[in-house]
A and B are shown apart, each in its own frame.
Chain A
Amino acid sequence: MAYRLGVDVGGTFTDLLLLEEESGAFWRHKTPSTPADSSIGILNGVESICAQAGITPSAIEVFLHGTTVATNAILEGKGSRVGLIVTEGHRQIMQIARSFVPGGLAGWIVWPKPEPLAALEDTFEIKGRMDAFGNELRPIDDADIRAALEKVKARGVEALTVSLMNSYINGAHEQRVAELAAEILPEVPLSLSHIVLPEMQEYERTLTTVANAAVRPVVGRYVRNLRAKLRDAGMAGRISLLRSDGGLMSSEASEEHPVALLMSGPAGGVTGALWVGKNAGIRNILTLDVGGTSTDVALIENLEARRVRTTEVGSLSVRASALDVKTVGAGGGSIAYVPELTRALRVGPQSAGAVPGPVAYGKGGKLPTVTDANVVLGYLPEALLGGTFKLDKPAAEKAVQTIADALGIGLYEAARGIIDIVNENMFGALRMISVQQGYDPRDFALMGFGGAGPLHVNAVARLMGSWPAVSPVSPGVLCALGDATTQMRSETARSFSRRFSETDEAEVRAILDEMAAQTRDALIADGVPEAELTSLFEIDVRYEGQAFEVPLAIDAETLARDGLAGITARFDAEHKRLFTFNMESAHELVNLRAVALGKPLELEAAELAVGNGDPIAAKLRDHQLWIDGALRPAVIYDRAKLRQGDRIPGPAIVTEMDSTTLIEADCSGIVDRVGNILITPTNA
């Protein structure tokens, strides 16, 4: 029997999900993460989960992995030292960046400017210039390039990047630098901007190339170490990593192009939600992934997650495709406070994090957090099922009382206030990806996962009007599930920047075909059989002069049938949906992209035994929680004992190993065929 193993390494826990491909049977496991060397935690987990399933690691055919190693390298400034070669006159490209200062009118007073990812003293210029149409304005000079390379070499850089003006349209000069670099710095890994990102906008292209170079050694070491340990443990199967765009890439490809991994972590949750949605028959989903310090949200329409062309990491905006995941600083650890000046109740973005953590965890946290408010209100029962520790409710009450006192309101009102505000922050993020993009949230279900998602999903669904609120099966390991169930993906993009009237179908198709071949070759090299490949194209279109492009997905047949006119018509429709108007301006074809996809996993979720609709067998005990302005009786259920068709009246709490679902007073939850809890208003 063939097994797939999904592994997601978080800040606190490493989640594993083992799938048996024929029956759909699965096993899940959580083990403490080992930040110093994540592979130790992973291997611990692999051992445990294999023991649970009664197999040896050699039975695992595919190992699928979402990782934040690249993200953390950037966020913590632990990337490699990158040398940068640029065009004469543009040495300070990373120093000046886009001249943007965040914050309002006086924001510059308090803005700490981050250090550039490639140090200015490690940046050197060369002569030679391409114009914006790919013509050589001035030639390069080998002696001059050699001199620059010698200077970089003397600086002791660990990686080298070349990013020249207009190279996106003609990379010949960068190519020549690469040839000479191979002589002078043969041991230093090299990234060329026109290869990593053949797109207009020199700062973004340079930043993306530098980011790629900066995380390459870190990711390379990580991947090689993990691979070696897995091989030692007897796992001979394929190892793939989850890309920011929700596809998989081989571990070898990820060593070359780690910039595609920057949103690997959050992408796992979204791909997990896709799989859950497919099995539950829910095609439009808003995801709500609530962690300790932040919440990630994304939009899935017709079982397709929205993608964007930029990945935001810390203060950097890197040009690499990613699922459109928005993050807000609102999570279980978000700290509530009342500033003296305004006497307003604020929640986050400061977080108690894993250490010292919420007060209720008893690990030294002193400031009231969202988790503490959940404990006070009874939403998080003191003794978690299967949990190894008991929550300290009196301490949580004491902490939340400080907020109540500052505001002059009661303890429960203050606690509920904290929850309402954090829910509102999540609501704000969800609006940005739904209403603001022209989607009506009432057409979507809201799926809450991560440790605390199912606690908030009911209330946020009410704000959004997004029903049902879904607490998926295994919400705590949904990312690992996503890692295990998504498909291989390879993508390439190119700037085109021409009016539709200046090109024709034949030209566009020829370029797309060439790009398609490139992406297919990449997946074939990764071991995907050619017969399993599908190709897709994406074309970015805008009205000439706009800053905003609309990406339109298209396949070869549709392009052949409807031609370029079909594309402009679709753009007009999409523009109207987004902005309520169209314009007479010429259409511009901005970027072309080709995507190759492996075969998706055809796997049904295991069905739950059918119950009689009454969840009484799963009842653990009676409970009290504060909801709708009063303490009310509620029931706590054990999720493992719920059966298909059970109807749980609110207010109720459903607990499981790693997550707690709250069903509010006027709502009820129905357990679906495969174990998801679908919450809807009782009287709707």
Chain B
Amino acid sequence: MRAQIIQSNPAPFNPKPIDPVTLEVIENALRNARVEMDATLVRTAMSPGIREQGDAFPLIADHQGRMIVGQFGSYIGPFLDGYDGTIEDGDMIMLSDPYSVGGAISHSNDWLVLLPVFKDGRLIAYTSMFGHQSDIGGMVAGSMPIHATSIFQEGVRIPPVKIYKRGEYNSDLINLIMTQVRTPDWCKADLNALIASCRVAARRVVEMAERFGDDVFVAATDELLQRNYRAMKQLIETSVGAEPVSFEDYICDDGMGFGPYKIKCTMWRDGEKVVLDFAGTDPQSPASVNFFLNENMLKMFFGIYMIMVFDPRILFNDGFYDLIDVRIPKGSLLKPEFPAALSGRTHALGRIFDVLGALLGQKTPEFLNAAGFSSSPHLFYSGTDKRGKYFQLFQIGFGGIPGRPLGDGPDGHSLWPGFTNVPNEFLERYFPMVIERYETAADSGGPGLHRGGNGIHMTYRFLEAGQIAIHDDRWFVPPWGVNGGQPGARARKILEKADGSQTIVGNKQEDIAVDAGDQLHFITWGGGGWGDPLERDPALVEKEVRQGLVTVEGARAYGVVIAGGIVDAEATQALRDALRRERPDTLPTFDYGPDIETLRANCLAETGLPAPRQRLWTATALAAE
């Protein structure tokens, strides 16, 4: 550890055995403190990305920097290892440079505030929160330039700096940062909100330590970590095999015409440890779709997926980290080398969840979910209105939730925790646009006994000329189905001029000029299906046709014939028989749809877009670039 922690009280903590009741009480109190962090943030933040959509994540860690409450695992360890400075009472640290924390925040848009919590001269905990800023300067509005080839083009990059140094606020520093961004009002408010959230949690931690005693509090955090370790150890033993299993999936392209990029992970148990090895993942991209995946973050994701099923009320923490060994090849898409561009990491980030789910479910298909986490679609729209006022919208969209063992995937819902859509009336009031359509795309959910959720078809009519940028994925490689379920439909984007003429636009494309009156059809992917679609109740299919979620034509994928709005039982039976005859007796666990070469061959005809070209990874090819 390079960071130097300065404590005026050198007495070490003296943790004592703790009774289960006190432990539970402290666990609850920590959980409540985290809820308070979220509540404080949402109330005071201003950018729609944080305040309406909830793109921000809290954390409370113990005095060694291990996460006790939070979602993404602790980045404090890597930070302390890399930070060449002091940590003192009254300090508050801010950073946004992914390379300074081993990728624990994965693009510079996320601003992170870290507050070491001191009590009576001793460091007793850390509280921290990061949130996605609407703009941090750089090449394009929204600061996620698809064409960036280095992180220097992606806006202001903040190394770990002290915004408060021993209690003193560094306003010069904040002014310097705010000068770099297009939306200083939002950024200031959002930063204030992050600070307020960390302070709230710090107060709670100190109150807890006062109530129970410092040693008991420290003992409790130790025990919570231990408890997690024990629970995960047992889970790993029972649900991960020693035989390696592999899974591959792809992100479709890099926005520069190349793709797809393969993500491969192999999992096996080695003694009490699980190894997650990403060998076989494609090399890093010269564009911005790299995802600097922090090992701890992946451990956390893995643990959450494991524990969810068994005791969903458990507080996820870092306690089990020693049980997981993550190996990511250097220079790969998931561990790119500085100064690779990182802003478009959302696609690979989402795809990691598809891959993890597939890996864990291979041994127990009854727990397997289909694909559809996949990405986090973004739309940017900026310009200057008739009154000369600059506007900038950053909106996060949603696809369909995959078919699940539990049932159908919800249509057009968020896979990210805490995210919501922005009310369309809000958009229309504060941005020059009319939302002509906000529906789910019929038939986009993959057919299955449990249907995949439909993606969303949202139509924006722009009222002012400006520029738009689109970030989405799953437009080329479909979200797979499982246990007989079929893939979901792929994403599409169509720009429609006032005269009705339509152009297909790319799913990773920026600086698209729009005129007042233009409409953008922003259509996201559907979730993959789960289970055999021919087993789905025809009455349910009929109902969904009536609801407009499935079309009459789409119903045929379930072997259901709808005539005059109702099921034709006889024709349905005949169709189901025919479909069963045509297919193999045993349905594959995974249905990926056509292979990559077939997808490439049909790409233009099916998607209206040229197929992405394969990047050549040989040394000569790299040298040639």
- The answer to whether A binds B is yes
Query: Is A504 at the interface (CB under 8 A from chain B)?
Result: no
Cβ-defined partner of B413 (8 Å) among A96, A420, A545: A96
Residue B619 lies at the interface, judged by CB distance under 8 Å to chain A? no
Asked whether any CB of chain B lies closer than 8 Å to the CB of A36, the reply is no
B547 and A200 form a contact (CB under 8 A): no
Given contacts A547-B43, A580-B196, A101 and B414 within 8 Å (CB-CB): yes
Q: How many angstroms from the CA of A201 to the CA of B425 in the assembled complex? A: 6
Q: For residue B45, give the distance in angstroms from its CB to the closest CB of chain A.
A: 7
Q: Does A165 contact B (CB under 8 A)?
A: yes
Stretch of A338-346, A528-536, A605-613 that contacts chain B = A338-346
Q: Which of A100, A543, A579 contacts B414 (CB 8 A)?
A: A100
Q: Does B114 contact A (CB under 8 A)?
A: no
Residues from chain B with a CB closer than 8 A to the CB of A578 are: 43
Is A141 an interface position by the 8 A CB rule?
Answer: no
Which listed residue, A95, A107, A417, A421, touches B417 by the CB 8 Å rule? A107
A99 touches B310 (CB 8 A): no
Tell whether A547 pairs with B24 under 8 Å between CB atoms, given A107-B417, A165-B425.
Answer: no
Known A121-B543, A548-B44, A585-B189: A345·B24 in contact at CB below 8 Å: yes
- Quick one: given A100-B413, A104-B304, A345-B21, are A425 and B28 in contact (CB under 8 Å)? yes
Query: Given the complex, which residues of A lie within 8 Å of B27, measured CB to CB?
Result: 344
State the CA gap A106–B235 with chains docked (Å).
17
A201 pairs with B423, CB closer than 8 A: yes
Annotate A318-350 by CB proximity to B: 1 below 8 A, 0 otherwise: 000000000000000000000101111110000
How far, in angstroms, from A14 to B39 measured CA to CA in the complex?
A: 37
Distance in Å from the Cβ of B440 to the closest Cβ of chain A? 6
**B42, A132: Cβ atoms closer than 8 Å:** no
A110-B308 contact, Cβ under 8 Å, with A344-B24, A417-B21 = yes
Q: Closest CB of chain B to A180's CB: distance in Å?
A: 23
Report the separation of the CA atoms of residues A342 and B304 in the bound assembly, to the nearest whole angstrom: 14
Contact present for B71 and A104 (CB under 8 Å): yes
The complex places the Cα of A104 from the Cα of B315 at a distance, in Å, of 11
**A131 contacts B312, C-beta separation under 8 Å:** no
Q: Does A342 contact B404, Cβ atoms closer than 8 Å?
A: no
Asked if A342 contacts B227 (CB within 8 A), the reply is yes
Is A497 an interface residue, CB under 8 A from the partner? yes
- Interface centre among A132, A417, A548, by most chain B C-beta atoms within 10 angstroms, is A132
Contact of A98 with B by CB under 8 A: yes
Given contacts A91-B548, A96-B413, A548-B43, contact A200 B425 (CB under 8 A): yes
**CB < 8 Å: which of B25, B71, B309, B311 contacts A105?**
B71
Contact between A200 and B426 (Cβ–Cβ < 8 Å)?
yes
A421 touches B51 (CB 8 A): no
Chain A residues with Cβ under 8 A from B369's Cβ? 109
Return chain B residues, CB-CB under 8 Å to A165. Answer: 424-425, 428, 435
Which residues from chain B contact A428 at a C-beta distance below 8 Å?
Answer: 28-29, 31-32
Q: Is A48 an interface residue (CB 8 A)?
A: no
B429 and A497 contacting across the interface, CB-CB below 8 Å: yes
A327 CA to B439 CA, complexed, in Å: 34
CB-CB under 8 A for A546 and B417, given A104-B316, A202-B425: no
A344 & B417 in contact (Cβ 8 Å cutoff):
no
> Given A436-B39, A497-B429, does the pair A89, B312 have CB atoms closer than 8 Å?
no
Q: Are A90 and B438 in contact (CB under 8 A)?
A: yes
Interface size bucket, A side? 35 or more
Whether B440 pairs with A96 at a CB distance below 8 angstroms is yes
Q: In the complex, are the beta carbons of A344 and B456 less than 8 A apart?
A: no
Contacts of A579 in B (CB 8 A): 40, 43-44, 196
Residues 390-425 of chain B: 1 if any A CB is under 8 Å from the residue's CB, otherwise 0? Answer: 000000001001001011101111111111110111
Of chain B, the residue at the smallest CB distance from A586 is B185
B438 and A93 form a contact (CB under 8 A): yes
Instruction: Across the interface, name the chain A residue whose C-beta is closest to B32.
Output: A428
Q: CA separation between A580 and B416, bound complex, in Å?
A: 30
Docked Cα-Cα span, A121 to B542, in Å, equals 11
CA distance A108 to B192 in the complex (A): 31
**Chain A residues within 8 Å of B419, by CB:** 99-100
Report A-chain residues with C-beta under 8 Å of the C-beta of B546. Answer: 121
Contact A341 B417 (CB under 8 A): no
Whether B21 lies near A344 (C-beta < 8 A) is no
Q: Is the CB of A424 within 8 A of B438?
A: no
Q: Is the CB of B414 within 8 A of A99?
A: yes
Inter-subunit contact A92/B429 (CB<8 Å): no
User: Shortest distance in angstroms between B210's beta carbon and chain A's nearest beta carbon?
Assistant: 12
| A413 to B199 Cα, complex, angstroms | 35
In the complex, what residue of chain A is closest to B54 when comparing beta carbons? A100
B308 x A346 contact (CB < 8 A): no
A112 interface residue per 8 A CB criterion: yes
Question: A106: which B residues are within 8 A, CB to CB?
Answer: 304-305, 308
Q: For the complex, is B171 an interface residue (Cβ under 8 Å from A)?
A: no
Which residues on the B side are within 8 Å of A168 (C-beta)?
Answer: 425
**B609 cross-chain contacts in A, Cβ below 8 A:** none
Q: Would you call B410 and A109 a contact (CB within 8 A)?
A: no
Q: Does A129 belong to the interface (CB within 8 Å)? A: yes
Shortest A150–chain B CB gap in Å is 15
* A200 and B52 alpha carbons, distance in the complex (Å): 14
The reply to whether the CB of A409 lies closer than 8 angstroms to some CB of chain B is: yes
What's the Cα separation between A200 and B200 when bound, in Å? 31
Partner of A436 from the list B36, B44, B414 (CB cut-off 8 Å) is B36
Contact yes or no, A344 B23, CB < 8 A: yes
Query: In the complex, how many angstroms separate the beta carbon of B343 from the nearest chain A beta carbon?
Result: 22
Q: Does A166 contact B (CB under 8 A)?
A: yes
Taking a contact as CB atoms closer than 8 A, the residue among B404, B423, B548 that contacts A203 in the complex is B423
B606 partner residues in chain A, CB cutoff 8 A:
none
Asked whether B500 is an interface residue with its Cβ less than 8 Å from the other chain, the reply is no
Q: Is B188 an interface residue when CB atoms closer than 8 A count as contact? A: yes
Q: Is A137 an interface residue (CB 8 A)?
A: yes
Q: Is B42 touching A346 in the complex (CB atoms < 8 A)?
A: no
A546 close to B46 (CB less than 8 A): yes
Kindly identify which residue among A110, A344, A346, A409 contacts B406, using a CB–CB cutoff of 8 Å: A110
Docked CA distance A119–B420 (Å): 21
B231 interface contact, C-beta 8 A: yes
Q: Collect the chain A residues with CB atoms within 8 Å of residue B189's CB.
A: 543, 545-546, 583, 585
Q: Which residue of chain A lies nearest to B26 when distances are taken between CB atoms in the complex? A: A424
* Distance to closest chain A CB from B574 (angstroms): 27
If the complex has contacts A132-B429, A583-B189, are A109 and B406 also in contact, measured as CB distance less than 8 A? yes
Residues of A within 8 A of B200 (CB): 436
How many angstroms between the C-alpha atoms of A409 and B314 in the bound complex?
22
Could you tell me if B417 and A166 are in contact, using CB atoms closer than 8 angstroms?
Answer: no
Could you tell me the distance between the alpha carbons of A585 and B190 in the complex, rounded to whole angstroms?
A: 13
Chain A contacts of B45 at CB under 8 A?
546-547
- Residues of B with Cβ closer than 8 Å to A? 19-21, 23-25, 27-29, 31-32, 35-36, 39-40, 42-47, 51-52, 71, 185-186, 188-189, 192, 196, 199-200, 227, 230-231, 234-235, 301, 304-305, 308-314, 316, 369, 398, 401, 404, 406-408, 410-421, 423-426, 428-429, 434-440, 456, 459, 543, 546-549
14 sampled A-B residue pairs with Cβ under 8 A: A89-B439, A98-B423, A101-B415, A106-B304, A108-B404, A110-B308, A113-B413, A200-B425, A201-B426, A344-B23, A416-B21, A497-B429, A545-B47, A546-B44
